[in-house]
């Protein structure tokens, strides 16, 4: 009976889908959410509760980079309520991610066995797991890109594809690059300009800018306005440094299976492996025009998007998750082809892949457990402490704007300006010494600072002068100091040794003197 059921393609799809989804469930209990995800989550909660899209209640500020993700999360918040909000959203992200990798697998293969094999390998990669449970909009992005790649590979052209191209800018403004790359290769495949697709992208960008202008009073999202202040004049040397950071440095580079210091500068090895696999794959499919176009589209996503980030100085790790995941497709597709069929060595390859995937799954679980404790229990715990000690209507100034504001519930100014137009205005007006001017003018009730304050420095590196320090000491007093100690979160020596793999800054809490 069971064997007869599993002979049906739909049953095999459903079984693998459930297995891949079940593999993600344990990660939800680690509470490993990306810091910046809490900006979108807080915006979604405010939208669901008050009907106003903004980071602070009742204040229209486009703090999230992804409007579409905020709208989706707000619907989940309305349907699931407070306690189930984040777990249900993580589950939905997992579903979207798996559908995205399914469509990607079908874009490369037509044989059902190869599709399922590639789907399983691609979906269980450590970076795939991280992207699908960490609370970011990455799953939504992977879903839409995977679906578009599938449509291009099949030569389809209908209104849903146009809608997806128009939606991408709403997922993230930088997703315009993905839309244009996919559209370009679709034009190459069809040997004509696809005016409908170009119109869809223009509509998507235009509608985003119009919405921002009408609702928030600014063309670009607040998070983008703040990040633009961190841009430096373009130089070849700085661009080269950024390329090195994206592909080689930053704990293993974009293609590293894990972002860990043990990988150091070995990112060049991972990048070389992806490049070699890409060359082998393209050489194998070159004679088939449809497969060649799909491969070139994936190749351009893998390399050109991170290069664009390096050019713009956007070096955040989570931005390179989609290119890294799509880049791994080339190696995995070759493995699938080499392992499909009968024979002793093919069986060895299959079991080797299974063992490697299980090892990666367990390693990612350790990483998620350690990181989740450091972020959720430690930083989130600081937010809970503030909630218990603050009064209704209190305001605070800090960086970063994720865990602590979310779990404190306090009105927040962040020192980068991601959620605070006021901070961006002061940074423009006073440049490096904006911080003391802002604190003196706005007088937030709470200052949450890191190690730099011990050396009389601000987050951006400005050294407070004598008068500024005297004013600060007269108006604020230190009321709390938090330091990450693994022993505070477990009595097990083994688990404490795992926790020690994660480093966290000390936090100093200052209260305004009444």
- In sequence order, the 6+-apart residues with CB closer than 8 A to the CB of 393 are 411
407 shares a domain with 319: no
Domain presence at residue 363:
no
> What pLDDT score was predicted for residue 482?
93
- In sequence order, the 6+-apart residues with CB closer than 8 A to the CB of 106 are 115, 150, 153
Divide the 514 residues of the chain into consecutive groups of 10 and give the mean pLDDT of each group: 68 90 92 92 95 94 94 96 93 96 94 91 92 93 96 82 94 94 93 91 96 94 85 83 81 74 69 90 92 94 92 82 93 86 72 82 86 87 94 92 93 94 94 94 95 91 93 95 84 76 86 91
Q: The tokens of 331 are what?
A: 């190696």
Domain presence at residue 420:
yes
Domain presence at residue 152:
yes
DSSP assignment of 105-168: HHHH--SHHHHHHHHHHHHTSHHHHHHHHSSSTHHHHHHHHHHHHHHHHTT---HHHHHHHHHH
State which residues form the domain around 199: 2-340
CB-based contact 191:289 (threshold 8 Å) = no
Instruction: Report the alpha-carbon angle 225-228-233, nearest 5.
Output: 160
297 shares a domain with 177: yes
236 shares a domain with 179: yes
Q: The tokens of 46 are what?
A: 């405010």
276 shares a domain with 156: yes
From CA 261, how far away is CA 486, in angstroms rounded? 19
374 shares a domain with 333: no
- Of the residues 340, 359, 378, the one at which a domain ends: 340
89 shares a domain with 227: yes
Q: Based on the structure, what is the number of domains in the chain?
A: 2
| Half-sphere exposure for 398 (CA within 13 Å, toward CB) | 28
Q: The tokens of 130 are what?
A: 């991280």
Domain presence at residue 156:
yes
286 shares a domain with 156: yes
230 shares a domain with 184: yes
From CA 358, how far away is CA 508, in angstroms rounded? 41
Cα dihedral sign, 432-42-95-349? positive
> What pLDDT score was predicted for residue 366?
85
> What pLDDT score was predicted for residue 92?
96
Domain presence at residue 206:
yes
- Of the residues 340, 361, 382, the one at which a domain ends: 340
304 shares a domain with 236: yes
Domain presence at residue 358:
no
Helix, strand, coil percent content, the chain, rounded in steps of 5 = 70, 5, 25
471 shares a domain with 326: no
Rounded to 5 degrees, φ, ψ at 480 are: -155, 145
198 shares a domain with 99: yes
Domain presence at residue 359:
no
From CA 499, how far away is CA 369, in angstroms rounded? 8
From CA 159, how far away is CA 477, in angstroms rounded? 60
Query: In Å, how far are 28, 91, 149, 204, 328 from 276, measured between CA atoms?
Result: 35, 35, 22, 36, 11
From CA 107, how far away is CA 109, in angstroms rounded? 6
81 shares a domain with 210: yes
Cα dihedral sign, 169-173-176-178? negative
Q: Is 397 helix (H, G, I), strand (E, B) or coil?
A: strand
Axis crossing angle, helix 138-153 with helix 176-190, rounded to the nearest 10: 0
- In sequence order, the 6+-apart residues with CB closer than 8 A to the CB of 271 are 247, 248, 253, 254, 255
Rounded to 5 degrees, φ, ψ at 312 are: -85, -5
> What pLDDT score was predicted for residue 337?
85
Nearest of 365, 400, 359 to residue 383 by alpha carbon? 400
> What pLDDT score was predicted for residue 442?
95
Domain presence at residue 260:
yes
- In sequence order, the 6+-apart residues with CB closer than 8 A to the CB of 434 are 423, 426, 427
Q: The tokens of 271 are what?
A: 């990048």
Query: In Å, how far are 115, 121, 281, 340, 355 from 345, measured between CA atoms?
Result: 21, 18, 20, 10, 15
> What pLDDT score was predicted for residue 322?
93
- Of the residues 325, 340, 355, the one at which a domain ends: 340
> What pLDDT score was predicted for residue 2?
62
């Amino acid at each position: 009976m069971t064997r007869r059921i599993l002979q049906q393609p739909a049953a095999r799809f459903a079984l693998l889908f459930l297995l891949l989804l079940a593999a993600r469930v344990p990660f939800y209990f680690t509470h490993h959410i990306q810091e910046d995800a809490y900006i979108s989550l807080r915006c979604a909660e405010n939208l669901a509760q008050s009907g106003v899209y903004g980071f602070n209640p009742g204040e229209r500020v486009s703090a999230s980079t992804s409007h579409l993700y905020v709208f989706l999360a707000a619907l989940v918040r309305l349907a699931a309520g407070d306690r189930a909000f984040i777990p249900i959203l993580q589950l939905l992200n997992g579903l979207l991610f798996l559908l995205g990798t399914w469509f990607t697998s079908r874009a490369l293969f037509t044989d059902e066995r190869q599709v399922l094999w590639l789907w399983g390998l691609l979906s269980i990669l450590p970076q795939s797991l991280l992207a699908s449970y960490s609370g970011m909009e990455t799953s939504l992005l992977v879903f839409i890109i995977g679906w578009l790649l599938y449509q291009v590979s099949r030569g389809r052209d209908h209104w849903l594809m146009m809608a997806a191209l128009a939606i991408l800018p709403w997922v993230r403004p930088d997703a315009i690059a993905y839309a244009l790359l996919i559209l370009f290769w679709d034009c190459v495949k069809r040997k004509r300009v696809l005016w409908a697709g170009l119109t869809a992208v223009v509509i998507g960008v235009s509608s985003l800018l119009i919405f921002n202008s009408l609702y928030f009073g600014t063309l670009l999202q607040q998070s983008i306005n703040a990040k633009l202040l961190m841009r430096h004049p373009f130089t070849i040397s700085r661009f080269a440094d950024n390329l090195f950071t994206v592909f080689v440095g930053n704990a293993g580079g974009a293609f590293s299976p894990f972002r860990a210091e043990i990988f150091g500068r070995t990112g060049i090895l991972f990048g070389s492996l992806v490049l070699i696999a890409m060359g082998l794959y393209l050489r194998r499919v070159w004679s088939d025009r449809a497969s060649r176009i799909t491969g070139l589209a994936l190749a351009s996503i893998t390399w050109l998007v991170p290069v664009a980030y390096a050019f713009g100085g956007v070096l955040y790790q989570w931005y390179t998750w989609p290119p890294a995941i799509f880049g791994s497709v080339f190696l995995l597709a070759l493995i699938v082809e080499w392992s499909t069929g009968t024979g002793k060595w093919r069986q060895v390859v299959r079991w080797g892949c299974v063992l490697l995937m299980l090892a990666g799954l367990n390693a990612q679980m350790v990483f998620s457990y350690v990181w989740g404790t450091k972020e959720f229990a430690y930083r989130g715990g600081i937010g809970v402490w503030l909630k218990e000690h603050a009064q209704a209507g209190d305001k605070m100034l800090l960086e970063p704007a994720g865990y602590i504001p979310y779990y404190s519930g306090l009105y927040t100014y962040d020192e980068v300006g991601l959620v605070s137009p006021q901070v961006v205005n002061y940074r423009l007006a006073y440049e490096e010494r904006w911080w003391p001017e802002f604190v003196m003018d706005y007088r937030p009730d709470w200052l949450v600072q890191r190690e730099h304050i011990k050396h009389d420095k601000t987050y951006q590196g400005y050294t407070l002068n004598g008068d500024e320090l005297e004013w600060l000491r007269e108006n604020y007093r230190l009321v709390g100091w938090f330091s990450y100690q693994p022993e505070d979160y477990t009595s097990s020596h083994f688990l404490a040794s795992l926790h020690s793999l994660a480093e966290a800054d000390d936090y100093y809490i200052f209260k305004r003197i009444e």
